[in-house]
Structure 1
Amino acid sequence: MESLDDVPSLPTFRDPALLDLALIHRSYANEHPEVGQNNETLEFLGDSVLNFLSTHFLYRLYPDLNESQLTRLRSALVDETQLADFANYLELGKKMKLGKGAIKDKARKNDSLLSDTFEAIIGAYFLDSGIEAVRNFVEPLFESAAEGLLDRKLTAESSILLDTKNRFQEWVQGNLGPTQPKYETIAQSGPAHAPDFTVEVKVGNQVYGVGKGHSKKEAEKRAAELALKQVGAL
């Protein structure tokens, strides 16, 4: 991230309960059944909101780039590492509600959990205040990271920097037509603070790859990597 002088702090919620829910990790909810919910569905919503807003932001900022270049920039702008950087700036690690085991395992510094919590905050703020409020909140964060993205030369030639999910999507659309790969979690094991996920990626009814990871995103990327290897694109 470049300069954060103009980046806002955590937004004020009209409904504080939504913010509170966004900070509740599954490990905390398991140890405190009275809370009833955790932040996973808000994380799912926030992921979609961030993808939309980052796409619009980059489209406006770099009107001369082509689709492939914009896809690479978006991939870097909302990947786990970058979102964890945003979360660290907002000090979400201190605010996350975690179970005792997760705290013992230093989950407050875990990029995957920080990224997930940031997405949950975005999902909650979208429900609380709408898309324009979220846009006003995230665009200064995006702007602070944008110069760094260009410094990494994310051009059409640097395909290695495009994450495997987007690379597999490009292969599918280039070889199978206008369709989307679908990722499905087929197994989950391990404790709440350190789960293991198994995900398969399909196009139509055909499975192209199966991946494992400590987060769904990691498992999805590994499934896509195996799919790329299977079709000879990696």
Structure 2
Amino acid sequence: MGINLGDVFPNFEAEIFDETAANGLKKIKFHEWIGKDSWSILFSHPRDFTPVCTTELGMVSQLVDDFAKMKTKVIALSCDSVEEHKGWSKDVMDYSKQKAFGFPIISDPKRELAKQLGMIDPDEQTETGMPLTCRAVFIIGPDYKLKLSMLYPATTGRNFDEIKRLGDKCMVIPSLSLDEAKKLFPKGVEVCQMPSGKGYMRFTPDPSDS
């Protein structure tokens, strides 16, 4: 299975580890968790208590406040239990020197959600032969539609600074005249002067960030 760009993201129900909840356990419906005005990033990792995953989630923990300024919520997913997430979160905080974990982790031990979203890595398995989740990233808009997806194998780590960059300035398409662009983007249009003299390198702040 899987989900395509522009599709409404499934409004799944799941148990999550949430450091603010009693005993760390909470149940959510995904669309309700996102809310009406937020963007969201859902990303999967293969397994708790592993080195690459620990560095990745440590980096995300450091970036949570930056994502919040972009009106973006972050949630992780792996096939481990809530109790495993709870224990591992302490390792992540210690390694990344963070006082709070900062975001929830979905528990998907039966791989149901991973299969629904096309996040299974067929080449990587646990010692008991169970498949691991790959390193997927989904960015979902306030309309609950999928705006971006990235898919890495379980063996390859991600650069979350690159994911953060996706909320940076937007490029203005060359087919718009400068006057049209200025009317369409009231926050302003920055034009970079190029040796060719062609004004095609134009940028504007994210129009959706009001």
Tell me the TM-score normalised to structure 1 length.
0.22
More helix by share: 1
Q: Whose Rg is larger?
A: 2
Tell me the TM-score normalised to structure 2 length.
0.24
